[in-house]
Structure 1
Amino acid sequence: MSDSVSPPPEVVMTQLIFGKWVAMAISVAAKLHLADHLANGPLSVAELATRTETHAPSLFRLLRALASVGIFAEDAAGNFAQTPLSQVLRSNVPGSMRAVADYCGADWSWRPWGQLLETVKTGQTAFDAVFGEQVFEYLSKHPHESEVFNEGMTSFSMQESPAVVAAVDFSAFGTIVDVGGGHGHLLGTILMKTPTARGIVYDLPHVVAGAPAHLAAVGLADRCRAEGGNFFETVPAGDAYVMKHIIHDWPDDKSITILRNCRRAANPGAKLFLVEMVIPPGNAPSPGKLLDLEMLVIASGKERTEAEYAALFAAAGWRLTRIVPTQSPTSVIEAELA
């Protein structure tokens, strides 16, 4: 039995550096819905090129590269087929990551990363420097890009929401408000497990417009409503407030404003639940440490430690009570009225 030999550092570093090639190739495959086209069996490159209106030789090179990392597989006849890894690039299947891959390779999401060096030098958000406005202002003016973003966030919710409801019992609350709730996937998951509760999905009007259809589709139209508004100004009254990947989008001063607005509107005895990645101490690997760079580049926010969340809560009239790990990379950060 031979001892395994780790690759030399330069090989590992090469793989890390070239990760951008794989990431963009996956995103293009997602945008072209290649996995959806292959759902019923292998197809030739010519057929795929016809269906996707692409250049067949270039499409072959894309597929060949992806097959080399386990995404799709070429058979002896030159046709391409699904693999377990490419299955999650299909739309509307359990665990689908298609919308996430689409979002991550979108021009408005990808281009600011080219300015990371300048952001590290100056502290200025790269997206703002590239596009001349903040990301959420930009998305409010670009419906297609906004829809790509919202679909990506909904896809994340499909992975994280079941983990949240498995970790936290919401049955004590009469009205649950999902602040920045998008299309309502998280709140819908909570309400389906909490039949005694009612809900409000609260987000910008152009975002929350997509919530009623989802809520109706899962049979919650009678217990949950969508409300448009600006969480920097006000939020609806509620017994519990949930926010998934909202506070991490904003610097401390704006985060405190959101949390204070929740505190001001909260019913007596209300609680707050943030679904975020909590940064662990030391050098331990954590997806939150990488997501933090996305916040640095795109949104002006940050991922935070337990102590940083406690300080935010204290400044906004809340008290950190516990942090509940989930089966996803996120945790549920719970607070009560101070």
Structure 2
Amino acid sequence: MSSATGEPSRPTDLFASSPLHDVMYGHIHSAALRAVAVHRIADHLAEGPRTAEELAARTATHGPSLHRILRLLAVRGLFREDERGAFGLTQEGQGLRTDLPDSRHPAVLMFTDPMFRRSADGLTDTLRTGRPGFTEAYGASFFEYLAKSPEDRATFDAGMATLSGPVDELVAQSYDFPPGSRVVDVAGGRGGLLRAILTRDPTLTGVLFDQPVTVAEHVLNGPGMSGRYEIEGGDFFVTVPAGGDFYVLKHILHDWNDEDVLRILGSVRRAATAGARLLVVDSVLPEPSAPHPGVEVDIVMLMILRGRERTAGEFEGLLARAGFRAERVLATPSLPSIVEAVAV
């Protein structure tokens, strides 16, 4: 047989990349992404491109298979292949390195974990029943399961910390708290957001409120923080600390259905005096539907919890029913917006 000549065939319109094509193969892309994250391939490209065989020798992986996976992810813009067949990291792919302060590696491991994959597989039944796929797959609610599974809890906590840390600073710089204000961070975790808020103005004071086991590991005892914060443990469905000028709920309401959101807001309203302000930090979906990363987060909520992302109108309605008047929505340089409301 003579040697091949000419150009290979090009994709026709039928097979060209399209929204349908990309979604159809989405699970393959995320599986490939998890594979290179688990084997920490990106860490071995920090000093420059390497061939798949060179990477395989360093990572105890199978070279030919690695080449094919990297080729796929190069098409998706995470790696680039040079003329000698060596792969390097693109700017977007740098987020897979574990040695960088803004690494997205823990978040990749979290969202591609079997917890999320099995929940996504259940969307077919969720569409029929309305129940989260996670509950059907694991026989428990998401947070009940994590409380009994330390390894999965660690995966979740690490992934969320990776995503939440940069958001805390961006949210804090997006709202001007009046000097001398007392800020109550409801379900504030270990206090990352409250620390970012208090750091910006030495006249501010705050209260970190969450489950006792959570606030026991708070991060507020840093320079310039002495005497400026209080720690309280409790259940926001029952009560929250009184006396705040501002109450903050960051990435809390989207975890819950409307009935539970009203219970949480009711606790805050009972604690807040008239005129106190509530800042709801969550994705605010556009109306009508338009591209927005919160739409994807909304499906994650559908998969694992009974919560949802909401539009500004939906927030306004819930706040009004709980005794708050929504006043404005502030954009931030990150995914969530700030819905500002006042207790009436």
CA contact (8 A) 1:239 1:268 kept: no
Judged with a 3 Å threshold, the aligned counterparts in structure 2 of structure 1 residues 44 and 223 are, in CA distance, closer, same or farther, namely farther
TM-score by length of 1: 0.85
User: 1:231-260 deviations in whole A, cap 9, x for unaligned?
Assistant: 222222332221221101100111111111
Q: Give unmatched runs, 5+ long, in structure 2.
A: 1-11
Within 5 Å, which residues of 2 pair with 1:126-205? 126-172=133-179, 174-205=181-212
In the TM superposition, what is the alpha-carbon distance from 1:113 to its structure 2 partner? Answer: 0.6
| 2:326 aligned residue (306, 309, 320) | 320
The answer to whether the 8 Å contact 1:173/1:240 transfers is no
Q: Residues 179 and 201 of structure 2 are in contact (CA less than 8 Å); yes or no, is this contact kept in structure 1?
A: no
Letter in 2 for 1:135: F
Change (3 A) 1:101 1:68: same
Q: Does 1:29 align with 2:42?
A: no
Aligned partner of 1:89 among 83, 91, 96: 96
User: Aligned letter for 1:87?
Assistant: Q
* Structure (1 or 2) with the greater helix fraction: 1
Change (3 A) 1:59 1:206: farther
1:226–1:106 CA distance, 2 compared to 1 (3 A): farther
One-letter code aligned to 2:228: R
Identity of aligned residues (%): 40
Distance between the aligned counterparts of 1:53 and 1:191, measured in 2? Answer: 47
Q: Deviations over 1:252-271 (max 9, x none)?
A: 11111111111222356421
Q: CA RMSD in A?
A: 2.9
What residue number does 2:235 align with?
230
Measured after TM superposition, the shift of residue 47 of structure 1 is: 6.0
Q: Secondary structure at the match of 1:84?
A: coil
Contact 2:269 2:343 in 1 (8 A): yes
TM-score, normalized by length of structure 2? 0.84
User: 8 Å contact 2:74–2:80 — kept in the other structure?
Assistant: yes
Shift in Å, 1:81: 2.9
Distance in 2 between the 1:325 and 1:24 partners?
33
**TM-aligned CA distance change 1:16 to 1:95, over 3 Å:** same
Task: Choose the corresponding residue for 1:282, options 285, 288, 302.
Answer: 288
Larger gyration radius, structure 1 or structure 2: 2
Question: Relative to structure 1, is the Cα distance of residues 271 and 29 closer, same or farther in structure 2, using a 3 angstrom cutoff?
Answer: farther
Deviation (angstroms), 1:50: 6.0
